[in-house]
Structure 1
Amino acid sequence: MAERPLGELLRHARQRLAGAGIADAAFDSRLLVEHFSGTTRTDAISSPDRIVGQVAEIEAALDRRIAGEPVHRILGYRDFYGMRLSLSAETLEPRPDTETLVDAVLPFVHETAAREGICRILDLGTGTGAIALALVTQEPLAVAIGVDVSDDALATAAANAGQLGVSARFSAKKSDWFAEIHGLHHLIVSNPPYISSSEIENLQNEVRNFDPRRALDGGPDGLEPYRMIASGAARHLEKDGLVGLEIGHDQRRDVTGIFEQAGYHLFAQYKDLGGNDRVLVFRR
């Protein structure tokens, strides 16, 4: 059938996903139908008899979801810190727990900008640009460099900056950690790969099969990126600057030890929405 009423299509989509065992069938089906039909939640309530012509596109999207593809990969975007960020094959989906890192360092960004007239931020492994873009959209005097080794990710981050109107204050730079980075920054932030190589095969299918492995794999013990950051950050950090990091829920002690050995002290620590250790902030 080429066309169906909106209310009927929503019920059909929910039933298809629920029948396939999708945990958030009602939510995911609504997102997919609204996205591909150009309708809203209000339309579903006020105009359930509205005829939708994009049935084939919606069925194809449901097929992808049933095959295990995450709903936001199908949509092509994810909302983060009030921003709508485009995704691509080599970017992680920015997740709500990472907003904890933004919340942790944003007061420092505001204070530095007020005192210095600028706050220079370096975001290592920027992906979609989520962390850096959240900070520069919240602080008009902040400027950021988003670093990644993936051309795909860098293009996505730059496009997101353009959509948000902050391209003048965000630059995407290809670099293997600090290899191509010059100058000093007030703040270095990162949500690095922190899953140990052997654990990746045990992750949920949606993560293992659709998130870029390079953005997940933190080496044999999941700590290699932290060693890289700890060993190189001092050469790129202003006096009294901070390093803010997302960590795995069981990595607080190990990551703290790595940075203490490199001459840092733990400045602050934060838990995520689930009460797990999630963010560490260090100062030399």
Structure 2
Amino acid sequence: MSTQTIGAWQRAALARLAPVIGPAEAARDLRLILMRATGLSAAHLGVGSGEVLTPTAQAQAEAMLAARLTHQPLAQILGEWAFYGRSFHVSQDTLVPRPDTETLIELALAQPFSRMVDLGTGSGAIAVTLLAERADARGLASDISQAALDMAARNAQRHGVAGRLDLQCADWWAGIAGRFDLIVSNPPYVSAADYAGLAPEITQWEPRAALTPGGDGLSAYRQILGGVAPFLLAEGRCLVEIGADQGRAVAGLFTAAGLVDVAVHADINGKDRVVSGRRAP
């Protein structure tokens, strides 16, 4: 394999990747691929496009490009992804943390809490972030997937909260004990009909069970809200991420569960993203 300059490789790679995922996303992904392969910063890449790639760096970049051309998410290729200012390990066993979920983080941090539970934690991004931001809090993170819990454990260790986060393999409330002043969850909520239309990066590479429960997409909320009362302290809060068209339905489940101050919150794009409520005194 003959080596190329950074700029030449990037132009050739863009011509291959842009038709597959679009020019804007391709340019971003190739920049991140080159940063990983070369160890250079984005700024250095910008001014050093005439530098020659080492054979090792070019081989690594080519391998990552080949994977991206199959629609594998870049986060999985890199093995990590940024969320709320931190980098989290990810794999095919967990969802890639998304900026939309940061809305839930902001709302959770808006009021104090000392004991939280994250149901369906996946990579642990939510639970780990909340504990990293609140050094005096403790938490429990559950998931039905042991592989996901193993990843959450790695992320808890990475960000220094492993001593304050318990991990439990559980199917929603089954096997959970204790009471909490904050309950959070980003459960599977994509309806069966909507799932069929998602991008191949999602349907071919991310765990289906973490994305859709089938049917109308609301079954996880029914289980969470149907069993929430014994686990929520007086004045305790519950926050869940939702799909953009689910606010009214999920808010109704909050109210039916006896929670008060129920509200639907929009994300940075103005789409309904989180429903919140609290237990009355």
Cα distance in 2 between the residues matched to 1:211 and 1:63: 18
Corresponding position of 1:128: 123
- 1:84 to 2:87 alignment: yes
Corresponding position of 1:101: 104
Corresponding position of 2:205: 210
- Which range moves more in the overlay, 210-219 or 152-161? 210-219
Q: Quick one: percent identity of the two aligned structures?
A: 40
- 1:175 to 2:178 alignment: no
Give the TM-score normalised by the residue count of structure 1.
Answer: 0.92
Quote the offset at 1:198 in angstroms: 3.3
The one-letter amino acid paired with 1:57 is: Q
Instruction: Tell me the number of residue pairs that the alignment of Structure 1 and Structure 2 aligns.
Output: 276
Corresponding position of 2:14: 14
Corresponding position of 1:51: 53
Cα distance in 2 between the residues matched to 1:41 and 1:198: 40
Corresponding position of 2:266: 271
How well do the aligned residues superpose, as a CA RMSD in angstroms?
1.6
Three-state SS of the structure 1 residue aligned to 2:109 is helix
Contact 2:3 2:52 in 1 (8 A): no
The one-letter amino acid paired with 1:51 is: L
Structure 1 unaligned regions, length at least 5: 113-118
- 1:199 to 2:199 alignment: no
Distance 1:247 1:218, change over 3 A: same
Cα distance in 2 between the residues matched to 1:29 and 1:46: 16
Corresponding position of 2:150: 155
- Which range moves more in the overlay, 80-89 or 197-206? 197-206
Contact 1:88 1:152 in 2 (8 A): no
- 1:241 to 2:244 alignment: no
Describe the superposition over 1:201-252 as per-residue Cα deviations: whole angstroms up to 9, x where unpaired: 1211111111110001133111100010111111111111010010110111
Describe the superposition over 1:4-27 as per-residue Cα deviations: whole angstroms up to 9, x where unpaired: 332322233223212445341111
Quote the offset at 1:266 in angstroms: 3.8
Distance 1:45 1:203, change over 3 A: closer
Q: Structure 1 segments of 4 or more deviating over 6 A?
A: none
Corresponding position of 2:27: 26
Contact 1:192 1:225 in 2 (8 A): yes
Cα distance in 1 between the residues matched to 2:204 and 2:20: 18
Cα distance in 1 between the residues matched to 2:110 and 2:256: 27
Contact 2:109 2:130 in 1 (8 A): yes
Cα distance in 2 between the residues matched to 1:238 and 1:124: 16
Three-state SS of the structure 1 residue aligned to 2:108 is helix
Cα distance in 2 between the residues matched to 1:51 and 1:73: 24
Describe the superposition over 1:16-39 as per-residue Cα deviations: whole angstroms up to 9, x where unpaired: 212445341111111111112222
Corresponding position of 1:39: 40
Describe the superposition over 1:130-153 as per-residue Cα deviations: whole angstroms up to 9, x where unpaired: 111111111111111111011110
Contact 2:254 2:262 in 1 (8 A): no
- 1:62 to 2:65 alignment: yes
Quote the offset at 1:60 in angstroms: 1.8
Give the TM-score normalised by the residue count of structure 2.
Answer: 0.93
Quote the offset at 1:107 in angstroms: 1.8
Cα distance in 2 between the residues matched to 1:225 and 1:52: 49
The one-letter amino acid paired with 2:171 is: D
Cα distance in 2 between the residues matched to 1:132 and 1:193: 17
